[in-house]
Amino acid sequence: MSEAREEETIEDVDVTPLPVDPTGVPNLDLMLGGGVPRGALVLVVGPPGSGKTTLANQMAFTAARAGRRVLILTALSEPTNKFVANLRSLSFFDEEFLGDAIQVLSLAAVPAARPGGDRRRSRGSGAAGARQLRDARRLPRHTRYGR
């Protein structure tokens, strides 16, 4: 009483290519076959100063230009206003996308979930993060930090 099991052949496998999202770096897109597969988890590694953050932000602005919505999460390394001020000097930066197609959120401003339900704020508040982004928009485009 055993059922005959049909074997799957290579012809039966769906090989429809996944849509790709361009990175905004033409030669990288060429190497990747047009960009990064949509929905893929991409880990970008390298030493400090190697361009990981710049690449990620170039991908974010490229996606926004294509009509996609983007969320940029910043860690504890720098305040949101400093982060945005540094982006202004890069050729792909476009102020028009901030606050609409591109949302920037500092993880330092997100309430920390603590055992027992205590939801004290960790390092500032959500309002502080929004205030940092608003203040960053007021800085002159030529303002640079960290030099």
Domain assignment present for residue 94? The answer is yes
Q: How many domains does the chain have?
A: 1
SS3 category, 141: coil
Model pLDDT for residues 54-87, shown as the tens digit of each residue: 999 999 999 999 999 999 988 867 788 888 999 9
Question: Domain range spanning residue 102?
Answer: 68-147
Domain assignment present for residue 36? The answer is no
Q: What is the pairing mode between strands 70-74 and 102-106?
A: parallel
Pick the residue with more confidence: 42 or 123? 42
Domain assignment present for residue 87? The answer is yes
Domain assignment present for residue 92? The answer is yes
Domain assignment present for residue 114? The answer is yes
Domain assignment present for residue 81? The answer is yes
Domain assignment present for residue 140? The answer is yes
Average pLDDT along the chain: 79
In this structure, are residues 38 and 20 in contact, taking their beta carbons and an 8 Å threshold? yes
Q: How confident is the model at residue 16 (pLDDT cuts 50, 70, 90)?
A: confident
Q: How many CB atoms lie within 10 A of CB 107?
A: 13
User: Per-residue pLDDT averaged across 85-113, rounded?
Assistant: 87
Domain assignment present for residue 86? The answer is yes
SS3 category, 3: coil
Give the best-scoring range by mean pLDDT among 12-21, 38-47, 77-86.
38-47
In this predicted structure, the answer to whether residue 105 has a pLDDT above a threshold of 70 is: yes
